[in-house]
Chain A
Amino acid sequence: MVDNLIRTKGREGRRGYTLPKNDVDGTSLEKILPKAALRKEKPRLAEVDEPTVVRHYTNLSRQNWGIDTNFYPLGSCTMKHNPRANEVAANNPGFAGLHPLQPEAQAQGALQVMHELQGFLAEVSGLPAVSLQPLAGAQGELTSILMVKKFFEDSGDHGRTTVLVPSTAHGTNPATASMADFKAKEIGLDEHGCVDVDELRELVDETTAALMITNPNTCGVYERNIKEIAQVLHEAGAFLYMDGANMNANLGRMRPAEAGVDVMHFNLHKTFSTPHGGGGPGCGAIACSETLAPFRPDPAVEKDGETYSFVRPAQSIGRVAGFHGNFGQMLRAWNYIKMHGPDLRDVTDMAVLNANYVRARLGGTYQIPYDELCKHEVVVQPPKGKKALDIAKGLIDHGYHPPTIYFPLVVKEAMLIEPTETESKETLDDFIGAMLELAETTSEELEEAPTHAPTRRLDEARAARQLKARW
């Protein structure tokens, strides 16, 4: 089998970049280091010229679908258009060339961006305190739960050992609870796909530290009892954490603080349009109540008069990143919010309109387990006898990135569709047409799909059985 790796495309001695000449006397490594410390063998890396590098990676990119090339209705991921203005902002040399350890006086512009973004996120959530440091959504979750942990430890309450997680939760939620040394306990659903409040009342006791709720939840349904849920937790001295992955359904329509949320994370790479980049980098900023504010990661940005500075919150859990967080993503999100202002509500309105339109048009052919108003995404099931996987691969042949499949786990053969607000009615109509056509396609035919993609279906078992993870 011939691979097409960059290493196969060069020749020993070829170079792809010319460095400035060294203009001081050379220092011999053999002179300053013991022989044992020096590398004996040259690493086997590509030796290629620049045109080859450009062509290789350009052609690789063409085997990828992005939002720029295809409709990408991936549930729970909010694949909205990534405005190019944000890229211009993040590439501005006045930010790109700034070292994270330059003294605050030399970085006032960057600190102002961070401070303003903290304010924007506080306004959107209704929660007064923000930390921008977490580097991803999952880290925002962990940061939030570690803050809850430290709150109880510092108050001398050592009996809080459990975190409740709904069965609809993202896998990151229970994994986060474990990482923070909590026991994750699952909680069931009512007939609407929402947290079962009666079961909650039974489960909550003096060992409960928090409930991790996603609102709207991963079925795309609004947690209509959220206020009551918060009350049950607060009465037991526990916290309500909200996974903000689905915040695109809430902008200007609901504020987590008013629903009783104590702490939440945002995904700036979902709600605020920073590009996903093939899986990162993102930013998992958190917002929290006054009670939890002292536990935020070190540092937060404060403003005193006209001067911005870093401060360590009094009972901080410590750092979660090497520096201040993914500043480039903050800059993009800040720019995006500034281009919308209070009109962010329109973003949510159009996202919810698009999802409900898809729900209305697919209903009848696809099963809709929770067929009532959905928010920004809708979970559907293929007609009897059809597999979500096959429909998904069939969609590829129609030119659509498949929705999220087999998630949420509570719905068999789930297909979680999130159109986002940046797609037109025509795009949705075409997609719906493809979905309806696939519902009629024979299973034998579907099992062959995709036939028009860069590759056919892969042997995933072989990848694990005969692990080869390097050249």
Chain B
Amino acid sequence: MARFTPHTDDDVREMLDAIGVETLDDLFADVSPKFQGELDLPPALSEYEALRDVDRLAKENDTGLPIFLGAGAYDRIVPSTVGAVISRGEFLTSYTPYQPEISQGTLQSIFEFQSIVSELTGLEVSNASVYDGANAVAEAALMTARLTKRDPRVAVSAGLNPRYREVIETYRVEVVELPFEDGTTDFSEVPDGVSGVFVQSPNFFGVVEDIEAASGAAHAAGALCVAVCDPISLAVLEAPGNLGADVAVGEAQPLGMPLLFGGPYAGYMATDQKSVRQLPGRICGETVDKDGKLAYVLTLRGREQDIRRAKANSNICTNQALTALAATVYTALMGPEGLREVAESSVSKAHYLAERLQASGFRLRYPEAPFLWEFVVELPDVKKANEALLKAGMVGGLDLGDGGMLVAVTEKRTKEELDAFVGVVANGG
């Protein structure tokens, strides 16, 4: 076995003596019912043997191929520096920064993360991240109820990622459906009494939605507007805060996080200054120390579970500090121009692929709708196409189950890969 405990037999004996008991078993005299057997687990392995198993199982997955799947997680380039920084032991092995004097590293990186989120969304305050995009959406739904003092009831359309919608419903928020046609949401008839109106842009099918229409309709109904945005898209699209959105949320995975079969990722969440006390989770603020030196600290703690208990905004206890740090480092490396380049390159490649597919006789489901890097193509047999793509060494798009394939293209894809994709699909794949 791999041992991480330092105790020698002599250590154990000396410590038992100091405690005043005879055996290790005596330390569990108060435990009832005691587990009498031995845990039925596979025999302990050394590090070397365990990692050999990791390798063996890793080979059972189809990875290292060009990926055309998106739908909320994107195969983007992760610069080497990101991994190097987040594997620093001082970041990796620290705890929530309750002791600010020895946690300025984590605290300042959170402050930078919040600043980036504020800049991209055009909203004044952000929290230090939540679990993932889906939970950011669900927490935002609950937040709209607190802010409007209405029952948690939100309007969404088919354009919202269905997985996000499912988490909203798990959190016992009622969902009413807005009409969705030709790839976009119709916000003209927001039902009375809802606490929030959600607009995802680009939406689940890749189409850029009208956030201004959504926020206008929400406000007319006395509700709040929540915009759900891919952070990379905000390098080129107008900030939701400038289009009337009261809350902006989303998934930060595209900012330097590996796909890793779905997590860990990080959710982001921003709002305007007047709503800050209803934000869930951690917020880091600037202050000074005893010597007047600038420093950072977790603040507005009265919103949180460890202080307010049953009356807290949320039960959320921590944030996603390390993955938020990955997003912070990624954004620092890219800068505004780099983010724009990632977005523009993805747009160019996605539009090239869409055009090539159309030229081969395939129809886009929403040919008139403006999209960035994700679109739906109609195929005679999506399942068969994906099988053929895999055979040709590619991971196809998401089978929507209705003859549509949701295809995502990132800056990673090359012209050669895009052409190969078209070739396979056009050959009846």
Q: Is the CB of B285 within 8 A of A4?
A: no
Q: Is the CB of B99 within 8 A of A277?
A: no
Interface segment among B185-193, B216-224, B312-320, B420-428: the answer is B312-320
Given A14-B335, A68-B89, CB of A454 within 8 Å of CB of B61: no
Q: Which of B53, B69, B293 contacts A102 (CB 8 A)?
A: B69
Q: Which of A66, A279, A393 contacts B89 (CB 8 A)?
A: A66
Q: Is the CB of B27 within 8 A of A102?
A: no
Q: Is the CB of A16 within 8 A of B411?
A: no
The reply on B247 being an interface residue by CB < 8 A is no
| Per-residue contact bits, chain B 33-72, to A (CB 8 Å; 1 contact, 0 not) | 1110011111111110011011111111111100101011
Whole-angstrom distance from the CB of B99 to the nearest CB of chain A? 6
| Per-residue contact bits, chain A 163-193, to B (CB 8 Å; 1 contact, 0 not) | 0000000111011111111001000000000
The reply on B360 being an interface residue by CB < 8 A is no
Q: Is the CB of A353 within 8 A of B260?
A: no
The reply on A314 being an interface residue by CB < 8 A is no
Complex: A202 Cα to B159 Cα, angstroms: 51
Q: Is the CB of A279 within 8 A of B263?
A: no
The reply on B288 being an interface residue by CB < 8 A is yes
The reply on B295 being an interface residue by CB < 8 A is yes
Chain A residues positioned under 8 Å from B155 (CB to CB) = none
Whole-angstrom distance from the CB of B399 to the nearest CB of chain A? 8
Q: Which of B5, B27, B63, B322 contacts A97 (CB 8 A)?
A: B63
Whole-angstrom distance from the CB of B328 to the nearest CB of chain A? 8
- Interface size class on chain A is 35 or more
Q: Is the CB of A458 within 8 A of B44?
A: no
Whole-angstrom distance from the CB of B201 to the nearest CB of chain A? 8
Chain B residues positioned under 8 Å from A345 (CB to CB) = 38-39
Chain A residues positioned under 8 Å from B12 (CB to CB) = 353
Chain A residues positioned under 8 Å from B77 (CB to CB) = 19-20
Q: Is the CB of A3 within 8 A of B263?
A: no
Complex: A222 Cα to B135 Cα, angstroms: 34
Whole-angstrom distance from the CB of B196 to the nearest CB of chain A? 17
Please report which residues of chain A, range 286-327, place their CB below 8 angstroms from some CB of chain B when the two chains form the complex: 297-298, 317-327
Q: Is the CB of A321 within 8 A of B62?
A: no
Chain A residues positioned under 8 Å from B291 (CB to CB) = 456
| Per-residue contact bits, chain B 283-327, to A (CB 8 Å; 1 contact, 0 not) | 111111111111101011100111111111011111111110100
The reply on B180 being an interface residue by CB < 8 A is no
Given A60-B104, A280-B322, A319-B167, CB of A85 within 8 Å of CB of B14: no
> How many residues from B make CB contacts under 8 Å with A?
203
Q: Is the CB of A459 within 8 A of B305?
A: no
Q: Is the CB of B2 within 8 A of A339?
A: yes
Complex: A338 Cα to B328 Cα, angstroms: 34
Q: Is the CB of B104 within 8 A of A454?
A: yes
Q: Is the CB of A457 within 8 A of B318?
A: no
Q: Which of A22, A344, A373, A468 contacts B27 (CB 8 A)?
A: A373
Chain B residues positioned under 8 Å from A407 (CB to CB) = 306
The reply on A201 being an interface residue by CB < 8 A is no
Please report which residues of chain A, range 42-88, place their CB below 8 angstroms from some CB of chain B when the two chains form the complex: 42-48, 50, 53-54, 56-58, 60-70, 72, 74, 77, 79-83, 85, 87-88
| Per-residue contact bits, chain B 324-351, to A (CB 8 Å; 1 contact, 0 not) | 0100110111111111011011011101
The reply on A40 being an interface residue by CB < 8 A is yes
Closest-by-CB residue of B relative to A124 is: B39
Q: Which of A89, A92, A280, A357 contacts B323 (CB 8 A)?
A: A280
Complex: A170 Cα to B406 Cα, angstroms: 43
Chain A residues positioned under 8 Å from B24 (CB to CB) = 349, 353
Which of B72, B234, B307, B348: most chain A CB closer than 10 A? B348
Whole-angstrom distance from the CB of A86 to the nearest CB of chain B? 9
Q: Is the CB of A339 within 8 A of B310?
A: no
Given A94-B55, A96-B260, A227-B32, CB of A323 within 8 Å of CB of B163: yes
Complex: A323 Cα to B167 Cα, angstroms: 10
Given A259-B33, A281-B322, A329-B264, CB of A61 within 8 Å of CB of B335: no
Q: Is the CB of A103 within 8 A of B238?
A: no
Interface segment among A133-141, A233-241, A380-388, A434-442: the answer is A133-141
Q: Which of B88, B111, B163, B317 contacts A322 (CB 8 A)?
A: B163
Q: Is the CB of B238 within 8 A of A64?
A: no
Complex: A142 Cα to B27 Cα, angstroms: 32
Complex: A464 Cα to B11 Cα, angstroms: 47
16 contacts between A and B (CB under 8 A): A27-B352, A53-B332, A63-B102, A66-B93, A99-B259, A112-B60, A123-B39, A135-B263, A137-B317, A254-B28, A278-B97, A329-B263, A329-B264, A344-B41, A463-B297, A469-B111
Q: Which 10 A-B pairs have the closest CB atoms?
A: A94-B58, A323-B262, A68-B89, A277-B322, A109-B60, A100-B262, A64-B105, A281-B264, A322-B134, A66-B93
